[in-house]
Amino acid sequence: MARNALITGGTDGIGKASAKELVNLGYNVIIIGSNEEKGKAAVDELRQSAPEGHIQFWKADLSLISEVLRISKLFLSRFRHLDALILCAFQMQPKRKITSEGFEKTFALYYLSRFALIQYLDSAIGVKGETRIIDFATPGQNYGGIDFSDLTMEKNYSAMNALKRGSFCNDLMAVEYSKRANNRQVTFILTWPGTVRTGIADSYPQPLKSILKLYMRLFGTSPEKIGKISAYYATDKSLANSRLKIFHKMNEIKLGASRLDSNLAQKLWEKSLQIIQVSL
């Protein structure tokens, strides 16, 4: 039976590199992105490297919870089981943006879409064999707290502050999910790929854009190398049913005490459930 992989942010960078590895391993791969032209180009490129592979592109703006729900329903209408959910979708926002659903965009795309996908795809996760959830973020960093009274970041917005908060939310989600999914065949892998040579700097104005691109070219890892690590996360038998694994590339790391705050993790989980239900 074919294994199914769903990859967000799959039209370039880590997502596309992960898709290439899994297609070559015989997975049925679905990549999700917001740009149809990039999606079609990615599919064409992946089919050249694996002519017999099964690869599809589904267009969706995952910063919108309604789109996350639509994609989830589409997947569940076609497949009964999800073997790998690889969460890569992310964009730096130099200026604060609010989605049409009323959420700060980094929070919506970097955290809330990931949480919502896991919730909406629940009936296909860990019920007919193991599912690997691979969440590319920056785990374990000392990023402070979460202001639940200002989730739209009207105060003190910066791209870095939004990144820090999203990363903290991903850490807490991983911790809480690993507790709640203890009766499922699921391994949640929270991973920090380090600096990677992707298009993350494209949204910045010059000259900062050129400076960031130069830094990534000099010090960044290639997406292709991270794609191979992603395939290891998705397939290595030693990781099976471990509930929660946290990595910096191939090195296992531990979360600090603030990331293991069960009360905060539960509060975020319950708040996130309220948000995605209200958004429908």
Domain spans of the chain, in order of start? 4-278
Span 132-143, average pLDDT: 88
Residue 280 has pLDDT above 60, yes or no: no
Tell me: the pLDDT tens digits for 55-84?
Answer: 999 999 999 999 999 999 999 999 999 999
What confidence tier does 25 reach under pLDDT thresholds 50, 70, 90?
very high
Question: Tokens standing for 235?
Answer: 């397939």
pTM: 0.94
* pLDDT the model gives residue 16: 97
Q: CATH for 4-278?
A: 3.40.50.720
d(Cα 216, Cα 271) in Å, to the nearest integer?
A: 36
Q: Give the helix ranges, DSSP H, for 60-181.
A: 65-78, 105-106, 113-120, 159-180
CB 178 within 8 A of CB 188: yes
Q: In which band, very low, low, confident or very high, does the pLDDT at 206 lie, cut at 50, 70 and 90?
A: confident
- Whole-number pLDDT of residue 259: 72
Q: How far is 120 from 269, CA to CA, in rounded Å?
A: 14
Which among 29, 60, 59 has a CA at the least distance from the CA of 45?
29
